[in-house]
Amino acid sequence: MKQITTITALVAALAVTSGGLGLSLTGVFEDNNVTTTSNTVNGLMMGHLTVEAHNEAGELVAYRQSDNEVVDDGEQCILKMLFGTTGSSQAGRGEYTTTGACTGALTGAWDNIAIGTTTTAAADAQVLLGNETSSSDGLERGTATTKTWTNGTGSTTTKIVLSKTFTNDSPRAHTIAESGLFNSTTNDANGMLARQTFTGVALSNGDSITITWTFTVGN
């Protein structure tokens, strides 16, 4: 678990901004527990990944669910979106430094979903999927086709659900075992916020897979 000793102001800022962008900070606040000098904060941010696969006839053939992993690059981008990279509170937002983490445009939302075939576990240092599927198979990354917001009030949590369905139009089968959330629609481009792997789902020609990322802010 990543220990953070001074987070009072940062937690509030991350909650507001990440809610607006549809982000999960489970990589920052792993296991939803943050140890501070005064108390423990639980359930600030939660992220969830759901996978549903259907055959050509529309029958459900596979279902997976898991928490997600926010990578280092995504964490760095979140901080730069919040606080900028220069001394000015506004001038640095969306800018880059020549070294360090955070690759990909900061001006775009992380609402592009990609899938791939690599089973290597998600890790903090990753900036791409292990083996992203391509446009020639109809399985290229793209903007979420469904975005559903729930605005939190009182006991109701703030939540966004991003979902996209991919259909295999290739004559060959693909076993999908990973998904990532990006701020670019270009295949194999950096700008990855989060990634997770799951038990492989075999897609024959005409089969489809729906990836749903859910992000909840608050408790």
Nearest to 132 by CA among 180, 201, 184, 204: 180
Which residues, 6+ apart, have CB-to-CB distance to 73 below 8 Å? Answer: 101, 102, 103, 104, 126, 127, 190, 191, 192, 193
**So what's the pLDDT on residue 65?**
94
pLDDT, tens digit, 9 for 90 and up, residues 161-184: 999 999 999 999 999 999 999 888
Separation between Cα atoms, residue 90 and residue 205, nearest integer Å: 49
Residue ranges per domain, the chain? 8-217
**So what's the pLDDT on residue 68?**
81
Q: What is the pTM of this model?
A: 0.72
Does residue 55 carry a pLDDT above 60? yes
Query: pLDDT grade, residue 69 (50/70/90)?
Result: confident
